[in-house]
Structure 1
Amino acid sequence: MKLLTANLFRVAALALLLILLFRTEWLSFLLTPLTKNDAPAVYTQSSLPLLALGHLQLVLISIVGSAVVAILGGVFVTRRSGADFLPLSRAIANAGQTFPPVAVLALAVPAMGFGAGPTLVALFLYGLLPIFENTISGLRQVSPAVLDAADGMGMNPTQRLFQVELPLALPLIIEGVKVATVINIGTATIGSTVAAKGLGEVIIAGLISDNTAFILQGGLIVGLMALLIYDAVGLAESAMTRRMGLHTA
């Protein structure tokens, strides 16, 4: 019953997302009361599917970059040779969350110009912390007995890392990637303030014109994408860990 309810919710969320992207006019009877002075209820200035695609491209590129750097950093500082660099690495990862994305954009635009570049920098920095911290936590929670057993089998440090530590840490690492992805899906909306293609364009258009219908459209699409992607990554994580013989909490 629980699984059936979850599946029905996923189908309903996906159906609503597709309607909002491709057939928003079907919902005009709900959106029209949110407009003023006969303003349009449906955003038509740009293609919503293309804006959503651009939005997801920004998130995907930034998350891949954040994951590579954060996982490598997490592995490095959990080795004996890199332990002394943990405070510095943690400070750098924290900096992405300390500085608001708007501040990062303000600094990046003069150097990089308008467009996707400044947005990618802001999203990259914002995604570092959850992946970095989860990588460290995942590697540190591996039982010393398991590590001793790996050493007893004659594994060298590289073999132990890739065959034992990273597989056991994988659920927590993926959880960090999920959290960073959801954060960046929402944060990427600010990219439209510097001419990056994304769903923030719809929300900003609504704010400028005082059109609540536009704000609701953009917000719902972003929220549903975040929800469905988080759920999809979770399902992929469960399938992967089952296949590897691991168990998530």
Structure 2
Amino acid sequence: MRALPYLLRGLLLALLMTFLLVPQTMEPLLRPLAQSNAPVIYNQGSLLSLTVQHLLTVLAATSAATVVAVSLAILVSRPAGAEFLPLSRSLVNIGQTFPPVAVLALAVPVVGFGEKPTLIALFLYGLLPIFESTLTSLTTLPRAVVEAARGTGMTGAQRLLQIELPLALPVILSGIRLSVVISLATATIGSTVAARTLGEVIIAGLQSNNLAFVVQGGLIVGALAVLIYDGLSALERLTVARS
């Protein structure tokens, strides 16, 4: 029974790769969702290319959000930076209080159409879960461990890099995992401002009243979210076992 989840994930990955590499193989399954004489498989671009670009956009935005959020959390978890905690929380909450569509609308006049406004929206939207998980993990470390490291003569930087961050890593990864999954879904709206994402497939389906396009775009994003969530969860468990 323990092997069943792995078999299901392997099957999902195999189906996803088959669809991206040879999408015509799935045409019989999607045919009932398309109108007569309408194309069943998205034909205005490569599904594989759009998927890769979608993932690269999410990776870039999440990487930037991770650097900023973790750095802020480290700063405010130190005695010298504790007074900046309210300000930091206000900053990282901006992405959650402003809908991504509103961020896109504000960003386009400044940076133009394309990938840049999407990156800004995803960056802002991904800050909060990473910041809060990092801050929580750094402020709830076993005090005895931190004091023991201090007692050995470690500097503040050494304690942070060699003790605190390694111990906090599993919780930090949980925040990154949440941020990635949110960004995978949110990135689809980037196609409304000419970004190359899987939102193109969904929008094309809505414009042509082709449910097959909408379903295949949504299924690809959903499959990616499940697989990446599981992959990061496995990485998180591995760091727990090593810590």
Normalised by the shorter chain, which TM-score bucket?
over 0.9
Equivalent position of 1:125 in the other structure: 124
Distance (whole Å) between structure 1 residues aligned to residue 151 and residue 189 of structure 2:
52
Q: For 2:238 and 2:166, locate their aligned partners in 1 and report how far apart those are by CA, in whole Å.
A: 13
- Cα offsets for 1:58-78 (capped at 9, x unmatched): 001001000000000000000
Secondary structure at the aligned position of 2:223 is classed as helix
**Is structure 2 residue 229 aligned with structure 1 residue 226?**
no
Query: How far apart in 2 are the matches of 1:241 and 1:137?
Result: 16
Q: Which amino acid counterpart does residue 218 of structure 1 have in structure 2? A: G
Give the AA of the match of 1:203. I
Q: 3-state SS of the aligned residue for 2:195?
A: coil
User: What is the distance in 1 between the residues matched to 2:21 and 2:42?
Assistant: 11
Deviation at 1:228, TM superposition (A): 0.8
Question: Counterpart of 1:11?
Answer: 10
Measured in 2, the distance between the counterparts of 1:19 and 1:34 equals 20
Whole-Å separation in 2 of the counterparts to 1:21 and 1:221: 9
User: Structure 2: which 5+ residue stretches go unaligned?
Assistant: none
CA contact (8 A) 1:20 1:217 kept: no
Cα offset, 1:150, TM superposition: 1.1
Equivalent residue, structure 1, for 2:95: 96
In the alignment, is residue 185 of structure 1 matched against residue 184 of structure 2? Answer: yes
- Partner of 1:45, secondary structure, is coil
How far did residue 55 of structure 1 move?
Answer: 0.4
Amino acid at match of 1:101: P
Alignment of 1:26-65 (within 5 A): 26-65=25-64
Q: Which amino acid aligns with 1:22?
A: L
* Structure 1 residues without counterparts, runs of 5 or longer: none
SS in 2 for 1:114: coil
Structure-1 separation of matches of 2:78 and 2:8: 43
* 1:238 shift after superposition: 2.6
Report the AA paired with residue 44 of structure 1: N
1:204: which partner in 2? Answer: 203
Equivalent position SS for 1:44:
coil
CA distance in 1, matches of 2:52, 2:225: 13
Deviation, structure 1 residue 187 = 0.5
Matched residue, 2:22: 23
Q: How does 1:130-169 map to 2 (within 5 A)?
A: 130-169=129-168
TM superposition shift of 1:195: 0.6
Measure the CA separation in 2 of the matches of 1:166 and 1:141: 12
How many pairs align?
Answer: 243
Aligned equivalents of 2:141 and 2:25: distance in 1? 52
Query: Contact 1:203–1:219 at 8 Å: present in 2 too?
Result: yes
Q: Render the CA deviation track for 1:38-71: whole Å, top value 9, x for unaligned.
A: 2111111100110001101100100100000000
| In the alignment, structure 1 residue 80 sits paired with structure 2 residue 76 | no
Percent of aligned pairs sharing the same letter: 53
Determine the structure 2 residue equivalent to 1:70.
69
Contact 2:170 2:239 in 1 (8 A): no
User: How much does 1:19 deviate?
Assistant: 2.1
Q: What's the counterpart of residue 172 of structure 1?
A: 171
Moved more, 37-46 or 168-177: 37-46
TM normalised by structure 2 equals 0.97
Q: Deviations over 1:89-116 (max 9, x none)?
A: 0011011111011000000001111100
